[in-house]
Structure 1
């Protein structure tokens, strides 16, 4: 069957997966709509991150999040036999439209696409300590290949010295951010102590940071460390990056980020993002120089074996789809 345009029902199904994508502070900065048989993904300007995601980084946080949502939609459509052709930033007159998905030639989904789709409900950021078991080389190769398949690069930071240097950079960036009262207010504003459809529940925030922690944690929660369960001396740390830093580059990296995270989930790994070195310009430049490779760092990740993170809430299709009678209603 040749699909000439997506329907409202298809959009609804795709959006249910799209909203499972990661976003800074679980801010979910996206909206969706049908237009001429295609699906548009837009930045939601009503959900800004003024201290972290916007400002000197422009729409960095929103673009990565929307790119990750686009990747989830691609998987749903491909596995439904309706693969999409994607255009990034398709309207020069409307920069809030980050992507447009239109039906491509029918084709069966690959086993890899089916596996990644199955991983979407299980992908969660884990802010808990990881187990000491190392990530095998074959899985590390799969993670790097996942980034490459989406037009990005993934640098695995190997060795205690290199990991320690990156961790020092991340902790320094975290101290810079924490000195800003707007940043602290932003974290508090996205921390949820009760039922919610966005933000980070305090129970999902991980234990309170302690001096021995290698990498910094956002102060979402207030739980103490469990005795004897530190975050590990040498986790697998990966830096995801792009060739440049345009809107298209960031949306592309967002798709690569989600492919890497779902690949990790499929391999029974857990991960969390450490974006502080990206949020501070001087730290980002030092990281770029230290990596010694062409391109722009866009995200730092901590990857390993461990307990899956707590699920975080998501808004439903009625809250994020424009142009439908129930758009914006509570769900």
Structure 2
């Protein structure tokens, strides 16, 4: 395939696939620019879709954009293209997050691109599940595969033991108390939830009520309740797993480049988990509070900074949440 074969239709398809990525509160804080005739797609962060209270440093925004970048790589590989990404190409523009050059696969790139292409089948099947999981344990070989997926993106996925899991779950509950006591945080979350009220905002973003999942009878699982004000109608209650299985995604450093790497690792892990038949949900509450974030890491581990708590197991698959149309996130120049 030549550069001239990168048609508007193909680039639009690539960006639509990339936009299936997870992001904080489904804000979808990314923008793509395709420079026609160059084979280049540029990725930008959109600070207007940031969370000033929950994500003042824009770390979660970078994670979401990194996940979208990984989705673009998967989509490109599916179409026989190699996506060579250069992170943070312009020191003068902090929102210019990546420069991606698309070209046909070259010798030596086939194995990696084939692996990426194998994930394409679950791009649109991966959804956050805020439903109860069973107590069935995830086999060690599957966990090893998820660890390997993170390592391929230069990140680490830790599966904590019993004491560390209990510590993280305690921090989840503490972060919920912090959140309930902070009106500005609650207001920010409410701005990104959709309960069907007339002032809910657009239907192409945010967390819709059908994705909230049931309320917990007993708070045993690290599942964020986006309906703390109980505005959603018809929500039932259910018992969640008593011994949640979690994994912690982290990096050695805490820089924008590492955040983008962590976003790519996050999406890779989630897609691999989906391919392995697992259901997943994300919990960022403990890492949103500086006084709690450092406590989530295992002091004996080499991971310096935790970016996400991932809940995984066997249970109902979540439903797809809305996505912005391509014309809202893609520009041709």
TM-score by length of 2: 0.89
**2:261 paired residue number:** 252
Residues 172 and 52 of structure 1: CA distance in aligned 2, closer, same or farther (over 3 Å):
same
Say which of 224, 242, 264 aligns to 2:236: 224
8 Å CA contact 1:5–1:102 kept in 2: the answer is no
Q: What's the CA shift string for 1:214-265, capped at 9, x where partnerless?
A: 3252323742313xxx221222210000111111000000000000000000
Say which of 190, 207, 227 aligns to 2:214: 207
Q: What's the CA shift string for 1:72-116, capped at 9, x where partnerless?
A: 100111121111110000111111011110024524575432321
Query: Are positions 1:157 and 2:156 aligned together?
Result: no
**1:114 paired residue number:** 117
Residue range with higher mean Cα deviation, 166-175 or 262-271: 166-175
Displacement after TM superposition at 1:209 (Å):
4.3
Q: Output the CA distance in 2 between the equivalents of 1:59 and 1:118.
A: 30
Say which of 261, 275, 279 aligns to 1:266: 275
**2:199 paired residue number:** none
Query: Are positions 1:78 and 2:69 aligned together?
Result: no
Residue range with higher mean Cα deviation, 43-52 or 249-258: 43-52
8 Å CA contact 1:147–1:153 kept in 2: the answer is yes
Residues 63 and 49 of structure 1: CA distance in aligned 2, closer, same or farther (over 3 Å):
same
Displacement after TM superposition at 1:6 (Å):
4.2
Query: Are positions 1:180 and 2:182 aligned together?
Result: yes
Q: Output the CA distance in 2 between the equivalents of 1:248 and 1:7.
A: 30
RMSD, aligned α-carbons: 1.9
Residue range with higher mean Cα deviation, 250-259 or 192-201: 192-201
Task: Kindly tell me the number of residue pairs found equivalent between the two proteins.
Answer: 317
**1:38 paired residue number:** 40
Query: Are positions 1:65 and 2:77 aligned together?
Result: no
Say which of 123, 127, 132 aligns to 2:130: 127
Secondary structure of the residue aligned to 1:25 is helix
Say which of 193, 196, 199 aligns to 2:195: 193
**1:93 paired residue number:** 92
Say which of 268, 293, 297 aligns to 1:288: 297
Residues 320 and 76 of structure 1: CA distance in aligned 2, closer, same or farther (over 3 Å):
same
**1:328 paired residue number:** none
Displacement after TM superposition at 1:294 (Å):
3.9
Q: What's the CA shift string for 1:51-88, capped at 9, x where partnerless?
A: 212x2xx1111100000000010011112111111000
Q: Which structure 1 residue ranges, 5 or more long, are not aligned? A: 325-331
Secondary structure of the residue aligned to 2:205 is coil
Secondary structure of the residue aligned to 2:21 is coil
Q: Which structure 2 residue ranges, 5 or more long, are not aligned? A: 197-201
TM-score by length of 1: 0.90
